[in-house]
Structure 1
Amino acid sequence: MATFHCEIKSGHKGAAADHAAYIARQGWHSKRGDLLFTGHGNLPPWTSDQPGLLWKAADQFERSNGAAYRELVIALPRELGTEELRSLVARMVIELVGNKPYQYAVHAPTSSLEGQDNPHLHLMYSDRLPDEVDRPAERMFSRYNPKNPATGGCRKDNAGRSRAQLREDLIAKRKAVADLQNEYLARKGCSTRVDHRTLKEQGVARRAERHLGPARINDMSAGEKRKYTALRRRADGDEGGPTAV
């Protein structure tokens, strides 16, 4: 069944290139064997359409206390086929990133608890907003100069925004993710729906499920896994009912 999960993370300077290699399953990460597809876009000209150069430059030139990248990690409906997921992800990227530089990858590892595919999206993007100024790499990540933009770096998307505004933006992103997934689930003829709201906001009187982690799952017996999975499905509204956060 489809379940809703959407979180945003920040990566510090020096971590961007390595993380990009991880999500793209490059180098020794390729042994995981769970990559479905990747993509990128809105890259500055000096990258020659190579996303790795963007993240290497962010690691080198971003301010020491600045985020080198943001990342959205989103669970995708396992009811959808690969081509349907491609279409869904393409629309998500447009909705969530806009014109900012980005790179994404979709992984589909086998769940160690239920033995089913667990497709999810890693969407990395830069907060640096492109404009009409053609900047070299080192200038793109320098401080923005509002009086003379050509002499400074690209403005950051979250610059000057309050914590409340950032929270509202995250809620809007989560809702957009849920709405798009539900559109594709309905088109597929599936009755399952996802909901971006908290259980409390949905009026569901139970605690949110805790992440078990691979180590704890590996310590569970086959019987314990079956029991846990059955309880999870019953809490989510029987075998085929809608699922929540």
Structure 2
Amino acid sequence: MAIFHMNFKNISAGDGRSAVASASYRSGEVLYRDADEKNYEYPRVVKPETFIMLPENAPEWASDRERLWNEVEAKENKANSRYAKEFNIALPVELSDEEQRELLTNYIQETFVDSGMVADVAIHRDHPENPHAHVMLTNRPFNADGTWGQKAKTEYILDENGNKTRTEQGNIRQRKVWLVDWDKPGKVDEWRGQWAQVVNQYFELKKMPDRISEKTLKEQGIELPATKHVGVNNQAEERAEYNELVKEQRSNLSRQENVDEKIVAERRLIALKEHMSFKEKGQVAKLGKELQTYIEIDQLRDKQRM
């Protein structure tokens, strides 16, 4: 069954993150970071399929993963700088590896690269039932000569005669004008909708019945699970525990962007079960049966690390 899963995040200096370290983790490559003069290495059992897609005007060195993200960190050198956008995306299991790559690269090219972004792509196939990709995107365009361009410029607010205006305090009035629309409100929703459209068009071309949607649970009319009344009988403790689980699931569901994402978790859960005890497997199975909903996979990972 085809599923929709696509989450966007920022890789920011203000969060203590590194673009170089992030690229190393996703690609499985050893990358040297100039800022702290150290190598970053995150070995993987299954080597990811990686490649970099360049926009027009990008210099040749941008195809070098290590240099690219070191250059980004050098350019975006403020304490709160955002180095990159990233998104992770589920690939349709109904398609072959080659078809998945073709679908993904066409989408990235038309949606991001053609607008001026560099896309650093890592396709992970650690588990056949959970093919997905991590894509890091640059936040700054390139000039025609291959140098870094501006993300925004300052524009003075003029009067009807073309003269600069001032505030009551005497300061010249000005505003920030973005030169790219990558951060405008609603842009992420637009990108998510474009992915659903591209996948569905591909399915239709292949005469496949599957379809996906970027719509939220609420938009799809999915009901949240109800809690049970906590009585005074001997099942009160069990019901209280159940209610806590339901509340947790409600919180998880409110963060999910599509009902199909529960299938992503189920697929990942299969891969994690081999690391769980018999008791843990039983608890997870019981919870899934009772709630018929998504189990937050990150919480399971956290538990595994403890």
TM-score (norm 1): 0.71
CA 129–186 in structure 1, closer or farther in 2 if over 3 Å, else same: same
Q: Which secondary structure state, in structure 1, belongs to the residue aligned with residue 219 of structure 2?
A: helix
Matched, 1:100 2:100: no
Q: Counterpart in 1 of 2:102?
A: 87
Q: Aligned partners of 2:105 and 2:71: how far apart in 1?
A: 25
Matches within 5 A, 1:135-154: 135=147, 140=148
Among residues 197, 200, 219, which one is paired with 2:276 in the alignment? 219
Q: Counterpart in 2 of 1:19?
A: 22
Greater relative contact order (CA < 8 Å, ≥ 6 in sequence): 1
Q: Aligned partners of 1:226 and 1:190: how far apart in 2?
A: 31
Q: Counterpart in 2 of 1:9?
A: 9
Cα offset, 1:73, TM superposition: 1.1
Out of 123-132 and 213-222, give the one that drifted further.
Answer: 213-222
Report the AA paired with residue 71 of structure 1: E
Structure 1: give runs of 5+ residues left out of the alignment.
111-115, 148-154, 237-245
CA 40–52 in structure 1, closer or farther in 2 if over 3 Å, else same: farther
CA 144–176 in structure 1, closer or farther in 2 if over 3 Å, else same: closer
Is the contact between residue 99 and residue 129 of structure 1 (CA under 8 Å) also seen in structure 2? yes
Among residues 51, 60, 72, which one is paired with 1:58 in the alignment? 72
Report the AA paired with residue 16 of structure 1: A
Is the contact between residue 61 and residue 141 of structure 1 (CA under 8 Å) also seen in structure 2? no
Q: Which secondary structure state, in structure 1, belongs to the residue aligned with residue 205 of structure 2?
A: helix
Is the contact between residue 53 and residue 109 of structure 2 (CA under 8 Å) also seen in structure 1? no
Structure of greater Rg: 2
Structure 2: give runs of 5+ residues left out of the alignment.
31-40, 156-177, 225-249, 257-261, 295-306
Q: Aligned partners of 1:198 and 1:66: how far apart in 2?
A: 30
Cα offset, 1:62, TM superposition: 0.6
Is the contact between residue 71 and residue 125 of structure 1 (CA under 8 Å) also seen in structure 2? yes
Q: Counterpart in 1 of 2:211?
A: 193
Is the contact between residue 76 and residue 119 of structure 1 (CA under 8 Å) also seen in structure 2? yes
- CA deviation string 1:10-56 (max 9, x = no partner): 11246111111221111343433152443332373262631321210
Percent identity over the alignment is 23
- CA deviation string 1:182-214 (max 9, x = no partner): 222333443222110001111222463676987
Q: Aligned partners of 2:132 and 2:219: how far apart in 1?
A: 25
RMSD: 3.5
Q: Counterpart in 2 of 1:74?
A: 89
Q: Which secondary structure state, in structure 1, belongs to the residue aligned with residue 11 of structure 2?
A: strand
CA 132–202 in structure 1, closer or farther in 2 if over 3 Å, else same: same
Matched, 1:31 2:40: no
Is the contact between residue 151 and residue 179 of structure 2 (CA under 8 Å) also seen in structure 1? no
CA 220–3 in structure 1, closer or farther in 2 if over 3 Å, else same: farther
Aligned residue pairs total 214
Cα offset, 1:122, TM superposition: 1.0
Q: Aligned partners of 1:53 and 1:228: how far apart in 2?
A: 47
